[in-house]
Structure formats: structure tokens, C-alpha cells
Amino acid sequence: MFGLIGHSTSFEDAKRKASLLGFDHIADGDLDVWCTAPPQLVENVEVKSAVGITIEGSYIDSCFVPEMLSRFKTARRKVLNAMELAQKKGINITALGGFTSIIFENFNLLQHKQIRNTSLQWERFTTGNTHTAWVICRQLEINASKIGIDLNKASVAVVGATGDIGSAVCRWLTQKTGIGELFMVARQQEPLLALQKELEGGHIKTLDEALPLADIVVWVASMPKTMEIDISKLRKPCLMIDGGYPKNLDEKFQGNDIHVLKGGIVQFFNDIGWNMMELAEMENPQREMFACFAEAMILEFEKCHTNFSWGRNNITLEKMEFIGAASEKHGFSAIGLDKQVKPLPV
Ligand code: NDP
């Protein structure tokens, strides 16, 4: 059995969904009420893969919302309670979606193995980051040529290069894809220097330096909503892969030879018959999902019950190849530009 732990993109959105689901006791509550709300198992589902393997799974809403990020103890409790619920339901492998994996790592939740009378078994959980990184790399490889970018000569900026997903993307691009130049962007210098040493290449740049030089920009950092970028300074054509969460770059950039692709999203070959991805705001919720969620499904299809993606900067090319091959075998594909380009009116 696979599990997906998710959350709403905002408090307002969470209240709207709670009302739709009939959870009236919290739908009308303020943020303090939501801070005390327990996780909810929202839906059970059965899924059949492209090679005929059937699995069962559940979606658990952690009742966390991004407005709680500054409330350290609340955020921690929300993630741990959702994990406890997944384990108590006997789920073999559960993906930590949205901010929950970042909270797990950044708030060092490994120290909190014991939740009431449940000792959390880490091997039952995965961040899903290996599949997310692989999907983002495939999206880059498949879509660049569609807008006239020659990958072998292309300059690629990875914003969030030293993160778990970003470092895996940098590894793949330099060792598997073969690109012209790599620009690595993050705030802290030390991890950037360590990554440069590991890759034996790549240029460390600030965001302002990298953007005007990049044919392709991979965003794998949660950027502040207030971030302002001067579109006139971007290269054209330019491919922007929005791998961060929440996905809001298309509001800022799309149009006039700037192509924004929702990064880390996959499509299943068949309708799944679930409601949970409507909650996760997918454009085609019967088939689309975050790649991190799909990783739990793939691991369940493969009966690979292990914390496949875990910790920081442990993603190897071998693991990316394994999860990528299994992803395609079971009927997942990365979403591409042809499906979703919506140029702005000139
Ligand atoms: P990490 O916390 O491991 O890495 C974040 C990276 O972003 C670090 O390199 C960090 O470096 C950098 N960063 C953060 N803020 C800024 C900033 N203001 N300017 C420049 N760089 C910045 O995160 P993950 O790799 O786990 O996840 C990355 C993103 O991907 C997140 O937004 C996450 O929510 C999203 N995600 C998306 C998924 C999907 O769509 N399918 C699935 C899983 C995650 P530094 O602190 O030095 O700046």
C-alpha cells in the first residue's frame, strides 16, 4: 500500500476544501483551530499500472498550511502526526509532499522518532526527491529543442543548486545530459563551493548574474512571492522549469518567447478515478500529480519498500536511472510544453 501526505497551498484554500469535504468543524475555524486539527485520511484508491500491476493507496492531508511555516512547533507536529497516521494505517511507503519533506529535513525531525506510542519507521517514508529530480531533467531534455534551444550549447542556471533536488539536477545535467554551461545559484557560498568541487565544474553566480546568461532556468528553491525579475534582461527563447513549491512563475514570466513549464509534474497513462489531485490543484487531476507522490506509487508497484529518497544530497545517478526506468514502465510521463503553453496576449 502507498501513501501520499499533502497539504493545501494556502489557509483560504484549505478552508474551502474542508467545506467541500464536509469537515465543517474546521472549515469555519481560524488559524489557531487549524493548528490543533489532526491529520485526515481523505481518500483511498486503487491504481493499475501500464504493465497490469494493481496497488492500493491513501491520501492523507496533514492539515498543515504554509501560513504555519513560522510556527516551528506546529509545523513539526503536523508532519509527525501525519506520518504517525500513515504508519498506523499500515502503509508501506508514503511520500512526503509539498513543504512536509522540507519541514522534516530543515527542522531535523529525525530526532523525533517516538510519537506517543508509535515509533516511526523511517523506511516507510520517502521524500520523493529522486523522482522529482529525474522528471525535471527529462522535462529539460525533451522540451528545450521544442523551442529552438540546442542543449549541447545551452547555458543552464539551477536556482537552488545546493538543495537535495538541485544538486541531483546539477549532477545529471553535467554527467548525463551534456550541456554548454552550468550556473549554480544559492545564497550560502560554502555548499556552492562543495558542489563545484564535487562536479569539477559549474560557475557560481548570483541570481541577477545568472538570469541574463541562461537559456534554461531550473527553479528548485521556494522563492519569495515578492521576487521581482526584469523580463527584458532574459534571453529569448528561454525555458523556465518551475520545480519549486508553490508553482507561481507562470504568473510572472510566461509569454513573448519565455516558456514556463511546471516542473516535477507527471502524468499517468490512464484516469485514476481519485479526487485527491483536485485538492493538490492539478490541471488534469485524474492523471497528473507531483513527481514526489508518484515516487511512492512507483516504489509500491516495484514492491521496493524502502526510504528510497532520504536525507540531503544522497541522490545518485544510479538511483535516478532506476526510478526513471520504473516510472516509464508503469505508465508515468513528464508533462511538457506542448500541453500547457499559454502565451500572454502581446
Ligand atoms: P532544499 O531545502 O534541499 O534546497 C533548497 C535550495 O534552494 C538550496 O540550494 C537553498 O540554498 C536554495 N535557496 C533557498 N532560498 C533561496 C533564495 N531565496 N535564493 C536562492 N536560492 C535559494 O529543498 P529541496 O531540494 O528538497 O526542494 C526544492 C524545491 O522543490 C522546494 O521548493 C520544494 O517545495 C520543491 N519540491 C517540488 C516538488 C514537485 O514539484 N514535484 C517535489 C518536492 C519538492 P541556500 O539556503 O544556500 O540559498
pLDDT value for 343: 42
**Is 188 near ligand 1, meaning CB less than 6 Å away?**
yes
Neighbour-count burial of 208, counting CB atoms closer than 10 A to its CB (0-12 exposed, 13-18 middle, 19+ buried): exposed
Which residues are bridge partners to 259 per DSSP? 239
Q: What is the per-residue pLDDT across 277-295, written as a single tens digit (0 to 9) for each?
A: 776 678 899 999 999 999 9
Q: What are phi and psi of 179, to 5 degrees?
A: -120, 170
Angle formed by the axes of helices 164-172 and 129-143, nearest 10°: 40
Q: What are phi and psi of 130, to 5 degrees?
A: -65, -45
Which residues are bridge partners to 333 per DSSP? 267
User: 249 to each of 138, 198, 217, 223, 243, how far by Cα in Å?
Assistant: 19, 30, 11, 10, 10
* Closest-lying ligand 1 atom to the alpha carbon of residue 165: 25
> Rounded to whole angstroms, how far apart are CA atoms 192 and 342?
35
What separation in Å is there between the alpha carbon of 161 and the centre of ligand 1? 8
> Rounded to whole angstroms, how far apart are CA atoms 306 and 165?
19
**Is 264 near ligand 1, meaning CB less than 6 Å away?**
yes
What separation in Å is there between the alpha carbon of 99 and the centre of ligand 1? 10
> Rounded to whole angstroms, how far apart are CA atoms 203 and 157?
9
Q: Which amino acid is at 102?
A: I
What separation in Å is there between the alpha carbon of 49 and the centre of ligand 1? 30
What separation in Å is there between the alpha carbon of 249 and the centre of ligand 1? 14
pLDDT value for 177: 94
* Closest-lying ligand 1 atom to the alpha carbon of residue 247: 40
pLDDT value for 341: 42
CA torsion, ordered 225, 226, 231, 235, to nearest 10 deg: -60
If one counts every other C-beta atom within 10 angstroms of the C-beta of residue 184, the result is 26
Q: Best of 220, 261, 262, 312 to mutate for ligand 1, by most ligand atoms within 8 A of CB?
A: 220
**Is 242 near ligand 1, meaning CB less than 6 Å away?**
no
**Is 267 near ligand 1, meaning CB less than 6 Å away?**
no
pLDDT value for 313: 92
H-assigned helices in the chain: 11-20, 24-27, 31-36, 72-88, 100-106, 129-143, 164-172, 189-199, 207-210, 249-253, 276-279, 291-301, 317-329, 337-340
User: 137 to each of 3, 134, 179, how far by Cα in Å?
Assistant: 25, 5, 12
Would you mind telling me the total number of residues written for the chain in this entry? Answer: 346
> Rounded to whole angstroms, how far apart are CA atoms 162 and 164?
7
Shortest CA distance to 89 belongs to which of 123, 113, 124? 124
pLDDT value for 344: 40
- The low-confidence residues of the chain, meaning pLDDT below 70, are 254, 279-280, 339-346
pLDDT value for 21: 81
What separation in Å is there between the alpha carbon of 245 and the centre of ligand 1? 8
> Rounded to whole angstroms, how far apart are CA atoms 17 and 227?
28
What separation in Å is there between the alpha carbon of 248 and the centre of ligand 1? 14
pLDDT value for 214: 98
**Is 57 near ligand 1, meaning CB less than 6 Å away?**
no
What separation in Å is there between the alpha carbon of 292 and the centre of ligand 1? 14
Q: What is the per-residue pLDDT across 63-110, written as a single tens digit (0 to 9) for each?
A: 999 999 999 999 999 999 999 999 999 999 999 998 999 999 888 899
Residue 298 near residue 276, CB atoms below 8 Å: no
84: cell is 504517525
Peptide bond into 246 cis (omega under 30): yes
Residue nearest to atom 40 of ligand 1 (CA): 264
HSE-CB of 180 using CA atoms within 13 angstroms: 14
pLDDT value for 339: 64
What separation in Å is there between the alpha carbon of 61 and the centre of ligand 1? 22
**Is 244 near ligand 1, meaning CB less than 6 Å away?**
yes
Residue nearest to atom 44 of ligand 1 (CA): 98
pLDDT value for 251: 76
What letter would DSSP give residue 257? T
